[in-house]
Structure 1
Amino acid sequence: MEGAAGEGSSAMAPIVKWKNDFSRLFQYYLDRSTPHMVERWLGTLATVMIYVLRVFFVQGFYIVSYGLGIYILNLLIGFLSPKVDPELEALDGASLPTKGSDEFKPFIRRLPEFKFWYAITKAFCIAFLMTFLSVFDVPVFWPILLVYWIVLFILTMKRQILHMIKYKYVPIDLGKQKYTGKKGGSSNVTRKD
């Protein structure tokens, strides 16, 4: 009995080794792509365009596209939401700072940008592969799906924007703020020797 199990595991050893090597190499390149945000998003944009062209020329797979749209909407909500919800924090007694003397709490996303990018890219790749399987080409009247998704998007974004306004947070990072000095007359002072 042990011989049969040993033979099966020795036959699987090269597959497991190949899988581990591939996983390690994939993670290496994924880690190296982290600081290159513009290039990553341009690659994702190219993937999106390939997917859109595929769906356009095949004239099908609308249910796959609808599911992809719902998934991306879910990711977008996580990307725009704070890690700690102020509504739940207010129930605990802690709240966002309202005065200059209060503790500063930076905006931390529930879904970081890198994970957001990776999930969207992976979703479009999987959806693209699904367009080659006819089982996913369910005949539907796509304009109804599109209108329903647009209504869902508007209602969800309205709720999210009202939440942002209510708790005064901005999820968009505009980069590091730079100190430019005082705007008073200190720069106009001339020195007499």
Structure 2
Amino acid sequence: MDSRVANDDVSYSSEAAISRWKFAVSRQYQHLLDKSTPHVLHRWIGCFAVACIYVLRVYTVQGFYIVSYGLGIYILNLLIGFLSPQVDPEIHDGPGLPTRGSDEFRPFVRRLPEFKFWYSITKAFCIAFVMTFFSAFDVPVFWPVLLFYWVVLFTLTMRRQISHMIKYRYVPFSFGKQRYNGKRASAESTSLPVD
């Protein structure tokens, strides 16, 4: 009886230690993610490096085209979410995006924020890279057919997305847009020309 209680105590303490270790690792991981949030350029350079490593791996192995095709479809799905507004103007009856200069300014809010877009793409490349080490995922296919099908799918999807942008007059990017700085505008309005 005592040995069973001792075994239960040992298993409970090992489970508690593993649980504490998992919590500490996840907390440290989340801390690193939080610290990387303001460093947009560095994050995307890292994502590009991970993508290059994956492409190099697939090129050297000469296989895993199904994994690459699935990765491409997933990235296309993420891209659509990144380019789409949070509230679809076709469905939403309330106030939409401004269409005239006199309309109230409403910022473009994405369905998939930039950070989650970056995180999902980077995680997808890492998972796809790990999958290239398991021969079960190396299904023999004629890769030009997959590439052609993905290009057709990308073209049709982007054409639909761009026509949606034109129809509802929104631009999902902030570069090239005019920015207003409240301090500069107020300083210029208070200074009158001296005659």
Please indicate the TM-score interval, normalised by the length of the shorter structure. 0.7 to 0.9
| Structure 2 unaligned spans of 5+ | 186-192
Does residue 40 of structure 2 align to residue 29 of structure 1?
no
CA contact (8 A) 2:81 2:110 kept: yes
CA distance in 1, matches of 2:103, 2:12: 61
CA distance in 2, matches of 1:176, 1:16: 50
**Does 3-12 or 168-177 show the bigger shift?**
3-12
Q: For residues 104 and 178 of structure 1, do their structure 2 counterparts lie closer, same or farther at Cα, with a shift above 3 Å needed?
A: closer
Choose from 55, 59, 62 the match for 1:59: 62
**Does 39-48 or 3-12 show the bigger shift?**
3-12
Return the TM-score normalized by structure 1.
0.86
Task: Please list, as runs of the form range in 1=range in 2, the aligned pairs for 1:165-180 lying within 5 A after superposition.
Answer: 165-174=166-175, 177-178=179-180
| Structure 1 unaligned spans of 5+ | 182-188
CA distance in 2, matches of 1:11, 1:24: 20
**1:137 aligned residue:** 138
Q: For residues 17 and 28 of structure 1, do their structure 2 counterparts lie closer, same or farther at Cα, with a shift above 3 Å needed?
A: same
Q: For residues 93 and 5 of structure 1, do their structure 2 counterparts lie closer, same or farther at Cα, with a shift above 3 Å needed?
A: same
Query: What is the CA distance between 1:173 and its match in structure 2?
Result: 1.3
Query: What is the CA distance between 1:94 and its match in structure 2?
Result: 4.2
Show CA shifts across 1:163-191 (max 9, x none): 0000000001117715687xxxxxxx6x5
Partner AA of 2:28 in structure 1: L
Q: For residues 173 and 18 of structure 1, do their structure 2 counterparts lie closer, same or farther at Cα, with a shift above 3 Å needed?
A: same
**2:17 aligned residue:** 14
CA contact (8 A) 2:72 2:150 kept: yes
**Does 14-23 or 70-79 show the bigger shift?**
14-23
**1:184 aligned residue:** none
Does residue 123 of structure 2 align to residue 122 of structure 1?
yes
Partner AA of 1:22 in structure 2: V
CA distance in 1, matches of 2:88, 2:94: 13
| Identity fraction in percent | 65
**2:45 aligned residue:** 42
**2:79 aligned residue:** 76
- How many equivalent pairs are there? 183
